[in-house]
Amino acid sequence: SAQSDKNSKGTLSVVTEAGFAPFSYLDKGELAGFDIELLDAVMKEAGYDYDIQNVGWESMLASVQNGEADLAIAGITINDDRRESYDFSSPYFESTHKIVFREGENITSGEDIQDLKVGVQAGTTGAEAAEKILGANHPNIAKYDANTLAFMSLQSGDVDAVVTDNVVANEYVKNNPDAKVEMIEDPDTFDSEFYGILFPKGSEVTEDVNTALQTLIENGTYAELYDKWFGA
Ligand code: GLN
């Protein structure tokens, strides 16, 4: 608590979307993941206490935008659209998109999903990536509230493919050896992007977080976390 640490700058209210393994997810009911551990290290380094709540993607974004939450972390991509309504930390992770599909589909490039049913998480850059291929609001694009629901639809056959962040795709395929799915990346179709911690516009915490992130990069803590979660 704030009282137990007399050096604390106060208690921040943090929101996450724990449907995004290996960045933010629930392990036996407890929040876990690279983002969860990075956040903890950043908060300690920056001198803040924090409370963290797992909410849905849309509520997470809304509560940061209206200032109910002080910040959010959940593999959130930095982009110009969002910069209009939010501030971001410096980038902390590079990402791109992958296509996950049921074994047997002949998919070797982004173009190959043009005539298929594609599942995405609504309001994400994965949804935008799919819309770039099929067309905005194309009827063959099924938008779900969570990435986990898009994967369930792939398993049940409601969609033929899912477009999502590459590392999240890797984790899903690794954790579901019986799902009979494959995945591809296609650098000609999918751009690289960067995750940042999300703040309300004008937040005074952003600078402290950026300073802490920089320290964690310089002192090797970031590399330790990276190796733990993504190392070979
Ligand atoms: N990186 C993607 C985005 O920001 C997805 C993030 C997520 O689903 N948690 O749109």
pLDDT in tens, 197-224: 999 999 999 999 999 999 999 999 999 9
Task: State which amino acid sits at residue 101.
Answer: F
- pLDDT reading at 37 higher than 80: yes
User: 151 CA to middle of ligand 1, Å?
Assistant: 15
What's the pTM value of the predicted model, to 2 decimals?
0.95
Comparing CA positions, the residue from 187, 169, 186 lying closest to residue 107 is: 186
Task: Specify the CATH architecture of the domain 97-185.
Answer: 3-Layer(aba) Sandwich (3.40)
pLDDT of residue 1: 44
Residues with CB under 6 A from ligand 1: 17, 20, 57, 74-77, 121, 124-125, 147, 165
Q: How many helices (H) and strands (E) does the chain have?
A: 8, 15
Q: Domain 2-93+193-230 falls in which CATH fold?
A: D-Maltodextrin-Binding Protein; domain 2 (3.40.190)
pLDDT of residue 8: 87
**172/185 Cα distance (integer angstroms):** 15
Comparing CA positions, the residue from 64, 71, 32 lying closest to residue 210 is: 71
Interface confidence, given as ipTM, is: 0.97
**42/89 Cα distance (integer angstroms):** 11
User: 178 by DSSP, 3-state: which?
Assistant: coil
Mean pLDDT score across all residues of the chain: 96
Q: In angstroms, how far apart are the furthest CA atoms of the chain?
A: 60
User: 92 CA to middle of ligand 1, Å?
Assistant: 14
pLDDT in tens, 155-199: 999 999 999 999 999 999 999 999 999 999 999 999 999 999 999
CATH 3.40.190.10 in the chain is located at: 2-93+193-230, 97-185
**125/76 Cα distance (integer angstroms):** 9
DSSP codes joined into one string, 75-120: SPBP-HHHHTTEEE-S--EEE-EEEEEETT----SGGGGTTS-EEE
